[in-house]
Amino acid sequence: MIDKPFVKEFLKETLIEVKVPTDISLDDLTAVFCRYLEQDSYQWLRDNFKSFFNHGDPDWTEIRRMINESKETA
């Protein structure tokens, strides 16, 4: 789930140089941008899932290595 207040603050800070039409409220812009991010995040998650699990043929040795590496750096 996207943190809407965070996104709203991000948009406020980032859109300083962009002229947003007066008929588009920051709340509406935040809502539609959050939906866009959620859709994009889902597609990104699916793509990364396919890559990580080698399109249904996971390399468990590599995954174990990554798990161990992650534990060592935590």
Alpha-carbon span 7 to 37, nearest angstrom: 10
Whether the CB-CB separation of 50 and 69 falls below 8 Å is answered with no
Using a cut of 0.75, tell me whether the model's pTM lies above it.
Answer: no
- Kindly report, residue by residue over 1-29, the tens digit of the pLDDT: 799 999 999 999 999 999 999 999 999 99
Which residue, chain included where needed, has tokens 């800070």? 13
Element spanning 69, H or E = helix 60-73
| Distances in whole angstroms, Cα of residue 27 to Cα of each of 4, 31, 33, 53 | 9, 6, 10, 38
Over 90: is that where the pLDDT of 74 sits? no
CB atoms within 10 A of CB 30: 20
| pLDDT of 1 | 79
